[in-house]
Amino acid sequence: MVKSFRSKLTGVFGYPVDENPTIVMQEAAFQAAGLDWRYLTLLVKPEDLPAAVQGMRAMNFDGINLTIPHKTAIIPLLDEITESAELIGAVNTVYRDEDKLIGTNTDGKGFVEGMKQRGIDLKGKHLVILGAGGAGRAVAVESALAGCSSISIINRNADRGQSLRDLLNKKTDCQADFIPWADGVRIPACDILINATSVGLYPDKNYPDIRLDDIKPGMIVQDIIPNPAITPFLKEAQKRGAVIYDGLAMLVYQGAIAYKLWTGAEPSIEVMKQALAEAFA
């Protein structure tokens, strides 16, 4: 007898989307929960995004992730976006509310949840964030909404850095300042230093060009790059006595938040972590 399934569909729209690690953790989580859901990796060229979103509606996808370059371009194609996605100016996750497609951003929420799971409360903390690209903006906005008191943004491109500073100062209760990125830039005293640049992402072997001796023993240093887990930057921070955290937790929790929005259920965090660890091994 032939048994046919009507799988529930999710996936990621990207261009290109090769080697996207989210597929392995989402599919592993569906399987572990016994859900007949699929997470597809779909190459969508920028000019085809409106047709792809129409296709998503027509084929009853329950949700989708977006990667570069679609995170901003998708916004006018959706029915609604959440408040934090509006502040961040980018959507990485779309979910369905009956016939409506709603855009949100789980990257920064994944960062905040990763910190919470390690027992770190962001309330009242001073953060220094290297980078003001999509991920840097998401981490900064969600950290500000989670109650951190001040954020220093350090970015090469001054316009991007200043616009993030202005956004935080205008729209959140967090006090933000911008430090232009010069060679060997000094890091102000802080509770948590975060690398949200792409410097050190596999196969790059560099670390951000900052004054490393400003990293003090006991300082929390987080690299949001998930691959490799221990980046050249984290190795340097560890040599200086910092408490280091890799980008895997953020990746897992941003995916877990999306999974819950799609299915309504909590995924197995352990299964997702294991699937990612194997993918990056």
- List active site positions: 71
Rounded CA separation 2/22 (Å): 31
The amino acid sitting at 170 is: K
Rounded CA separation 260/9 (Å): 14
Residue 58 DSSP SS3: helix
Q: In angstroms, what CA-CA distances link 273 with 50, 93, 120, 223, 246?
A: 33, 19, 20, 17, 12
Smallest gap from residue 170 Cβ to ligand NDP (A): 20
The H or E element that residue 254 is part of is helix 248-263
Buried-state track 16-27, b at ≥16 Cβ within 10 A, e below 16: ebeebbbbbbbb
Smallest gap from residue 188 Cβ to ligand NDP (A): 17
- Residue the block writes with tokens 């220094």: 128
Sequence-distant (≥ 6) Cβ neighbours of residue 139 within 8 angstroms: 107, 108, 111, 129, 194, 196, 224
* Residues at the contact surface with ligand NDP, assessed by CB under 6 A: 107, 110, 131-136, 155-157, 160, 181, 196-199, 201, 208, 224-226, 247, 250-251, 254
Using the minimum distance from each CB to ligand NDP, give the nearer residue, 107 or 142.
Answer: 107
Smallest gap from residue 7 Cβ to ligand NDP (A): 26
Using the minimum distance from each CB to ligand NDP, give the nearer residue, 11 or 131.
Answer: 131
Using the minimum distance from each CB to ligand NDP, give the nearer residue, 55 or 279.
Answer: 279
Smallest gap from residue 201 Cβ to ligand NDP (A): 4
Smallest gap from residue 154 Cβ to ligand NDP (A): 9
Using the minimum distance from each CB to ligand NDP, give the nearer residue, 86 or 209.
Answer: 209
Angle at 121 between CA 116 and CA 122, to 5 degrees: 110
Task: Please identify the residue of the shown chain whose CB is closest to the bound ligand NDP.
Answer: 133
Strand ranges inside 68-125, DSSP E: 80-81, 93-97, 100-104
Using the minimum distance from each CB to ligand NDP, give the nearer residue, 13 or 181.
Answer: 181
